[in-house]
Structure formats: structure tokens, C-alpha cells
Amino acid sequence: MNGFTILRSVQHYVGKIRTMRNEIRTRRFMNGLPQSIRKDIGWPDNYEGRHGRGN
């Protein structure tokens, strides 16, 4: 393994962590909205269908 490969692996890992943190932050924000607004925008039903784990 050369330095470039290691750097690429670390960048990929950091990207995954960043994505997971952003998803958690989004869920927390959306769940903090009033129920009527969440219902109007289809939260979480529409989101879960498009962004399920493993996709």
C-alpha cells in the first residue's frame, strides 16, 4: 500500500462519518418540527423510502 492509497481510504472513511453525522442532524431537526408540518412534507415516510440504510 502506498501513501496515496492510505490517504484515499482515510478520506473515504471520513466521508462516511460526515454523511452519517449529517443524516443524524437532519433527523433530529425534522423530528423537532411540529407534527402537522412533518405530516405535510411526508416525514419520515418519504425519506425512509429513498434513504434507507445500506443504499
pLDDT single digits (tens) 1-50: 677 899 999 999 999 999 999 999 999 999 999 999 999 988 887 666 66
Q: What local confidence, expressed as pLDDT, does residue 55 receive?
A: 47
Q: What local confidence, expressed as pLDDT, does residue 48 receive?
A: 65
Give residue 46's identity as a one-letter amino acid code: N
Domain count, the chain: 1
Is 55 among the domain residues? no
Pick the closest to residue 51 from 18, 13, 24 (CA basis): 24
Is 13 among the domain residues? yes
Is 27 among the domain residues? yes
Q: What local confidence, expressed as pLDDT, does residue 46 receive?
A: 66
Q: What local confidence, expressed as pLDDT, does residue 52 receive?
A: 55
- Residue 12 belongs to domain spanning: 1-50
Q: Which three cell numbers stand for residue 41?
A: 412534507
Residue with the larger pLDDT of the pair 55 and 4: 4
